[in-house]
Structure 1
Amino acid sequence: MNRVLTSGQQRSLRFFEGEKYLVVTGLLGFVLALFCAAIAWVNGEVVAPDGNMLKAFSFNAALGLFLLSTAAIVPFSGMGSKNRIFFRWSYISIAMYSYFAETVQNYRGVNPRFVAGGTNYDVAVGSIFALVAFLLILFYLYLAVPFFRAKAYRLRPALVLGIRYAICAIMLSFAAGIWISVNEGRSVGLGGNIIWLHGLGFHALQAVPFVAWLTERRALRSSVNHRLIHLTGIFYFLGLLVIGWQTLLGHSIFEWTVLPLLAAFCFLLAFVPVILLLRKTKQLARIRSANEPNGKSLHGQ
């Protein structure tokens, strides 16, 4: 009985299912990003004394993409309706405050994270923003835990495996965000920039599940699918670790030295499955097109 139910769930579950409001909140980030870009284009990116509209642009766009990607995977978490509602509205509330703090404060010329010489209001907004950043991590852990349970894995084994790797990478991104806060800025040493580790980790939420989704649609054995997902997940995570190491040493990830080249090699290997799967798609398309005339003639007979 359980197996039949699981099969039915696997057929019916779809990306973004039941997460309309989380999707709308994510799209709002792109609208605000365009607004910030327009302000920067008209008035310049810097707003005296400490605001920067391009930073607000990148933050809103990144948070919007993160929310959309999260909304896509929530249906496969195996969480009950009450837990999903709790997570959904908690994250929407956090996102709305983050949009407000980042956009309004930069527009007013205030750095929303590191307030220097601001009013009591600015200090309060910054303090709450720090708490919100912590809650962003805490509630994502609330979402992450169910993905590592058997219930979620039974729903879509390949896809959930990819999501698990993506979640591990996201935890590295959150750690990088904490590092930025403790460091009071993204710069480390002469050329290190924590923001690269912070941003690339979040993009695992698009990259690794995409590979898992491709494997579900190709005529491959389950063991082969899992190997390809493991390959992407492991090397993407290793690439992030190498970037973190290079940054910790205070060097740019764009140097022509061992660690940046090793990181590039890891990311290249991580996307080998995409190339293999797309080639498989082309081969299947050729076979279908070659057999189509024969099929038609047989049908005509």
Structure 2
Amino acid sequence: MRSRTVAGKKSWVHHFEEEKWLYLTGLFGFLLAGICAVWVLLFGGEVAPRGDVSKAISFNAALGIFLLSTAAIMPFAAMGKRSKVFFRVTYIILVLYSYGAETVQNFRGVNPRFVHNGTIFDKTIGNIFAFVALMLVLSYLFLAVHYFRRKAYVQRPEIVVGIRYAMAATVISFAAGVWISVNQGRFTGLEGNIIWLHGLGFHALQAVPIVAWLTEYTSLKSTVRRTMVHITGIAYVLGLISIGVLTWNGHSVLEWSALQVVAIVSFLVSITAGAWVLGQSVTELRRAYKGYGFKGLMSTMK
């Protein structure tokens, strides 16, 4: 296993160095979320007339996680150097603006996305924010296309397949975000809440690629490894689609229905497949530990 997983692959330290600015920008989101959290604890979240600092906490943290996840999968995109620089610089600028608009405007008592009776300045910030959100989507689609090239697949088949499913889920989340903007809010119908679809889709960026990565640390045949990744990804996306249809019909995800059952079963299948792969990888790593000692174990984690 050791020779298969290490040969020809760059270490995660190298990955971090290559995408350190994406990582640091993602961590900056957590710093902002922490500052906002302290404010909320001391002074409360609401700021008259329409600001809510607690919303900046969740926004900055979520965007930070999203950027950290993106930085982690960037090395597998098989992008050229210029394309990487273009995406990296563009996305960092867009994200920094998003952090600023969400945080500063909420502290000023303004909802940055849905400005009501605001000043010209507030409306300008809101309009730019809407444009930035669109550019975040388009830029990410530019990145996503590279994972569907054969060049990316050949380098790391399991991981790239997992990322492809994650990208499909991310597109669904982006669509949900556009839906929220057009709807002027997260609630739809009688009890529908679009934010569930929006949030769960982005978490596929962590869930599915991690399972795919773990398959590389098993002794399973390549066909079995890819099958497990397919099961994890398909089940996750199917769960999202079920939630999407449920929300579109104006129903709560907590309301018992056939679609809710489909969503629950789908996510359970995805989690079960991931747990099984984790068990297999842990077994292999224990063997590596016995055979190579602690340094040998660390050298396999590339």
TM-score norm. by structure 2 comes to: 0.90
Aligned equivalent of 1:105? 105
d(CA) in 1 for partners of 2:287, 2:9: 26
Q: Is the Cα contact below 8 Å between 1:17 and 1:72 reproduced in 2? A: no
Q: Is the Cα contact below 8 Å between 1:10 and 1:155 reproduced in 2? A: no
Deviates more, 1:265-274 or 1:55-64: 265-274
Secondary structure of the residue aligned to 1:190 is coil
CA, structure 1 residues 66+112, in 2 after alignment: closer, same or farther (shift >3 Å)?
Answer: same
Aligned equivalent of 2:160? 160
Q: Which structure 2 residues correspond to residues 89-100 of structure 1 after superposition, within 5 A?
A: 89-100=89-100
Which amino acid in 2 is paired with 1:205? L
Q: Which runs of 5+ in 2 are unaligned?
A: 293-302
Aligned equivalent of 2:76? 76
d(CA) in 1 for partners of 2:283, 2:196: 37
CA shift for structure 1 position 286 = 7.0
Q: C-alpha offsets along residues 164-204 of structure 1, whole Å, 9 cap, x if unaligned?
A: 10000000000000000000000012211101100000000
Structure possessing the higher radius of gyration over alpha carbons = 1
Q: Which structure 2 residues correspond to residues 96-245 of structure 1 after superposition, within 5 A?
A: 96-245=96-245
Q: Does 1:12 align with 2:10?
A: yes
CA shift for structure 1 position 44 = 1.0
Secondary structure of the residue aligned to 1:49 is coil
Deviates more, 1:227-236 or 1:268-277: 268-277
CA, structure 1 residues 38+221, in 2 after alignment: closer, same or farther (shift >3 Å)?
Answer: same
Q: Is the Cα contact below 8 Å between 1:102 and 1:112 reproduced in 2? A: yes
Q: Is the Cα contact below 8 Å between 1:17 and 1:75 reproduced in 2? A: no
Q: Which runs of 5+ in 1 are unaligned?
A: 1-6, 293-301
TM-score norm. by structure 1 comes to: 0.90
d(CA) in 2 for partners of 1:278, 1:73: 19
Question: When the two structures are aligned, how many residues end up with a matched partner?
Answer: 286
Which amino acid in 1 is paired with 2:213? W
Q: Which has the higher contact order (CA 8 A, sep 6+)?
A: 2
CA shift for structure 1 position 37 = 1.0
Aligned equivalent of 2:264? 264
CA, structure 1 residues 16+169, in 2 after alignment: closer, same or farther (shift >3 Å)?
Answer: farther
d(CA) in 1 for partners of 2:245, 2:105: 33
Aligned equivalent of 2:60? 60
Aligned equivalent of 2:295? none
d(CA) in 1 for partners of 2:66, 2:121: 28
CA, structure 1 residues 86+13, in 2 after alignment: closer, same or farther (shift >3 Å)?
Answer: farther
Aligned equivalent of 2:297? none
CA shift for structure 1 position 12 = 2.3
